[in-house]
Structure 1
């Protein structure tokens, strides 16, 4: 630590006392956001208090004491420089312990939350180096110009001050004219803080665990003394379960494995995130997974096990997402996301991903909030855009992706009961290193939709028979072309019923087209099939008459659960519905897929005909049973409601 004359130290002390909130705010801004707000607050206060230099024991001139004069600003410059040096030194080592002072036991401290603009600026600051944050602090908190700020940065030991100022200028332009006010807001004020208790149950459990550990150590020491006399004995090897909880044994895939493997799925993801080397955090996440505390929140997609790890899992991510520490593991069958908010209990989210491929392993939901979410992208995704399924003619919007693969916030579909005015989805383009023709056109792109699970849902499309479409003929197409988008605009709102059910993919199959009586136009019969990660699927049959609005949902004609219908294992479909023409006359309409050669209606309506469509006059709601005849002679019953 630098030593100064006693007069220098007294001026520095006066500067710290007078400008303490100003210095702490600067230190808080420069410290790595990955530390979490509680530790940043404590560390910022500690660094400013440690910025006071030591006094020399002897006077520098060997005689008269240093003269006291109006040098308060020089004292401030000194403590500001020392504060910056200490804060910059924390870059890349946010997981280390706090300074000795101050310490707060049993409480969590964090500045008051700001609005959307403050949060957006905080997220932007978390993605740049400390030298860039220091530059913005010197400009907007200290009022220095570029030359003066560069001098301070050089003296503080910041790397590449010119590059830091360029990056700060770019971020400043993106933040707009309000950056000064935002940095001076309560969001970045570590002297005006809120307090919350730590996890009380977990604290009690830790005290009990510490007492138990002390007892074990005493017994262990006693046993060691007894064994000492008995000679050396072999050390008991750790069990498989113990090894699974060791952060040092986590599987870490090399960064470029995804470009040189025939298995392009979650096993090819490298470990990413600023806390990927934080063993304390990783160990804590593994322990909560193995033995969740009583107050932990646990969410699992349908059919997904929440069992503890039985072998060392693969690490996919560890870092700070919207002020929440997040860790994601992959155990070969499941994804497990551990979330550790600063002022709340931990959460675990489980999802099955066995059998994932290039599209099923393209992204996972790394963070979620009120009306928004973020994806963590696979390393083979070269571009992501967003669009509204209910607006098929609108152009997609570009989306920024951080270097670690985390996207900007994406709007989520309306909550249940909130209507269906929009349905955001994301379009993904893979790298040419895994898909050769991915650079241009829509053929290689694909759509994923968030349905409140950890893994988004793949949207697919099978065109009508007039375009050569059938589930058994080459499989479904990607839902990125104009016909697919027009189809999905009419069926998107049906996705809301699939939230949280562990769905892997949803396919729209236009299995029939039918000319309506009285020249009312041409209708489409749609079978929407949802396949889950665990295997079973469900279908919804929909009748889509010509409509004035692109997003008109049509009418539901039938449903079925746990069925192979409308898949390559059940490539035949028949639907029926009562329909009222513009003249007021009612009809029973029926249609079958391409291999249906005839239809018969019995019950309250009796009619039959060759071909794959049928229109017969019928009383409204008259009960009818419709059966299709395949050209092979096999009968197929129409779906019921």
Structure 2
């Protein structure tokens, strides 16, 4: 007697009802993480409900089976196989598969069949699984970088408890590519997961049946409704004009420049290998990277928010950086999911623009000026940031990157893992303002030898801007430092000595700043690193530590260094801090600040002469006025404040009280005499 044709269908339905949470969890794991958690939750439920086979599709007697391999023995095997097949196919379908309902009400994009959306449908709410801890987040990031077949393999192994042979057979029947390779990759991922993946996958982080609900962006939804109404009116008017034949000679039929700038299809995309065959090694040589680089919907949304930010959008701009809309199609640098935030980065020739789209939150825009970037200042950007950590997106010419602590100059750099798309692992950020300065992490980059020159490694520091700051160093004159001060072109170039005019000081050649990676540079930066915190968010391009003078202290007090730290901004103006560094018991002792100046050319190639002065107390208790100048300073004069002294060298030490201004009402003026007869005043405190 033939089996009732409805029996397999009823068994499949019973299996779905009984094991629904297991099936939805498996589908959620396999679906592309780039969809975002809300869409993954709804799609996972929808795929499991679609896994119910259709009734009345019995194979005729003597017919061949539809697929090779053993037929599933139970209703659960059947619906699990169908769920896997749908979820695996969904990754290949991204951006080109099922039609979508337009997101006109702040709602998720929903696939449509025969004009109707798949169930379930959620209007006006965003759904999220419960957030886990650091271990769950780390596993989620690792799964995001793995193909769908690997996620399916680890799901069958750790969630379904299948043995190796059975899991491989199910993967093959579900259409997974290279099941054996997927299993090996899943085993590696499990070994690299602290505590193993089984317990973490069973947690609430990966449970789409236990969710939290939040409203959609209410203001954005209202604005989109208004925009949709306006668009409908424009289309209606356009249809009337076209029907009347009045559109034949309308100007600007291809769109204005501003309209073209918002077209994702017109985005500039640099070829992958152009950086290795160009004389312009900067952001223009970056290729477009990220798994969502082809997602026109995401790119269009990012461009529209840039052009007309919603009222509640968060906008951050580095000092002196314009937030104007794009005037032409920008270059795409990256589009992808970073720590559950969809991120897009554009470059318009002058600025970097990072668009971030957190789930259930308003979008953010971050602008940074990067005109005249070079091999070092165009080597990376901050692609993601969190509480106490950040990630870099590296330039394609960076072959190696590590981290080091500026306050531990004797320790070697620690290697840093980089994903194939150029995104680094998390890097600790410097301590926030007001916190003790016990460490100062920086990144050490090494350029590729494919650039055709032995470019040295260099340091970049995160100062809360979109682009990190290049750190350089210039040694004192006695060790081959510059004769007359910083000269030449941009620091950190691959050519070693900077090209530029020679100093008028004498026979010593003019050298530019060098990379701050050797032992003397690191020792100098250990004493000045904590001062970098004052430059946060100021749009700084580079900071150079110039040890412009050395001085033997009175009464056998040892040898001191005078350092001028110059911070150059992308806008041009810079700030300087002159610091006196006497011998110290701790290698990170910051010394004393002798003077500060803003909006000055001092300590640059256009202001190569500098003088500083401080009051210093010897072990005997005697106070001295100490002064020093850069190499072109041939003499120093100190007058006022109870001090009157003169010297014929670039350093001066004269007895003085700790602070005579209260008694005399005058400060001590220190002036340096240059070899060509000019004078230069000391940088004031």
TM-score exceeds 0.5: yes
Q: How does 1:323-402 map to 2 (within 5 A)?
A: 323-402=340-419
1:522 equivalent to 2:559? Answer yes
CA contact (8 A) 1:250 1:315 kept: yes
Q: How does 1:435-474 map to 2 (within 5 A)?
A: 435-438=452-455, 444-470=456-482, 471-472=486-487, 473-474=510-511
Inter-CA distance 326–231: structure 2 relative to 1 (3 Å threshold): closer
The aligned residue for residue 513 of structure 1 is: 550
Give distance in 2, aligned partners of 1:333 and 1:33.
33
Give distance in 2, aligned partners of 1:167 and 1:387.
31
CA contact (8 A) 2:314 2:363 kept: yes
3-state SS of paired residue (2:412): coil
The aligned residue for residue 597 of structure 2 is: 560
Cα displacement (A) at 1:417: 0.9
Give distance in 1, aligned partners of 2:193 and 2:385.
23
3-state SS of paired residue (2:431): coil
Give distance in 1, aligned partners of 2:39 and 2:550.
63
Cα displacement (A) at 1:437: 2.3
The aligned residue for residue 16 of structure 1 is: 16
1:572 equivalent to 2:589? Answer no
Give distance in 1, aligned partners of 2:530 and 2:256.
50
CA contact (8 A) 2:190 2:196 kept: no
3-state SS of paired residue (1:54): coil
Give distance in 2, aligned partners of 1:151 and 1:400.
34
3-state SS of paired residue (1:569): coil
The aligned residue for residue 120 of structure 2 is: 102
Give distance in 1, aligned partners of 2:458 and 2:553.
33
CA contact (8 A) 1:11 1:72 kept: no
CA contact (8 A) 1:364 1:454 kept: yes
| Aligned residue among 648, 652, 663 for 1:614 | 652
The aligned residue for residue 288 of structure 2 is: 271
The aligned residue for residue 321 of structure 2 is: 304
CA distances 1:389-429 after superposition (whole Å, capped 9, x unpaired): 01001121111101000000000001111121111100000
3-state SS of paired residue (2:450): coil
1:485 equivalent to 2:502? Answer no
The aligned residue for residue 45 of structure 2 is: 45
1:258 equivalent to 2:284? Answer no
Inter-CA distance 410–135: structure 2 relative to 1 (3 Å threshold): same
Give distance in 2, aligned partners of 1:449 and 1:435.
26
3-state SS of paired residue (2:608): coil
3-state SS of paired residue (1:293): coil
Q: Give unpaired runs (5+ residues) of structure 2.
A: 63-70, 101-109, 112-117, 488-509, 661-666
Cα displacement (A) at 1:216: 2.4
Inter-CA distance 436–258: structure 2 relative to 1 (3 Å threshold): same
1:158 equivalent to 2:176? Answer yes
CA contact (8 A) 1:5 1:59 kept: no
CA contact (8 A) 2:129 2:205 kept: yes
Cα displacement (A) at 1:113: 1.0
CA contact (8 A) 1:241 1:309 kept: yes
Give distance in 1, aligned partners of 2:72 and 2:265.
51
3-state SS of paired residue (2:451): coil
The aligned residue for residue 588 of structure 1 is: 625
3-state SS of paired residue (1:55): coil
Q: How does 1:50-61 map to 2 (within 5 A)?
A: 50-56=50-56
Give distance in 2, aligned partners of 1:511 and 1:94.
59
Give distance in 2, aligned partners of 1:586 and 1:431.
53
Cα displacement (A) at 1:58: 6.3
The aligned residue for residue 104 of structure 2 is: none
Of 193-202 and 94-103, the range deviating more from structure 2: 94-103
3-state SS of paired residue (1:433): helix
Cα displacement (A) at 1:110: 1.1
Cα displacement (A) at 1:474: 2.0
1:187 equivalent to 2:231? Answer no
Q: Give unpaired runs (5+ residues) of structure 1.
A: 63-70, 439-443
The aligned residue for residue 91 of structure 1 is: 91
Give distance in 2, aligned partners of 1:58 and 1:48.
22
Moved segments of 4+, more than 3 Å: 57-62, 92-99, 230-236
Give distance in 1, aligned partners of 2:157 and 2:588.
50
Cα displacement (A) at 1:94: 3.4
| Aligned residue among 287, 291, 304 for 1:287 | 304
Give distance in 2, aligned partners of 1:232 and 1:475.
62
3-state SS of paired residue (1:332): coil
Task: Give me the CA root mean square deviation.
Answer: 1.7
Give distance in 2, aligned partners of 1:495 and 1:296.
29
CA contact (8 A) 2:135 2:194 kept: no
The aligned residue for residue 676 of structure 2 is: 632
CA contact (8 A) 2:347 2:353 kept: yes
The aligned residue for residue 574 of structure 2 is: 537
Give distance in 2, aligned partners of 1:456 and 1:395.
21
Give distance in 1, aligned partners of 2:307 and 2:545.
40
CA contact (8 A) 2:72 2:78 kept: no
CA contact (8 A) 2:343 2:357 kept: yes
3-state SS of paired residue (1:8): helix
Q: TM-score if structure 2 supplies the norm length?
A: 0.89
The aligned residue for residue 67 of structure 1 is: none
Give distance in 2, aligned partners of 1:231 and 1:407.
52
The aligned residue for residue 497 of structure 2 is: none
Give distance in 2, aligned partners of 1:639 and 1:358.
32
Cα displacement (A) at 1:233: 4.1
CA contact (8 A) 2:30 2:151 kept: yes
Cα displacement (A) at 1:231: 9.0
Cα displacement (A) at 1:232: 4.6
CA distances 1:329-384 after superposition (whole Å, capped 9, x unpaired): 00000000011111110111001100001111100100111101100000000000
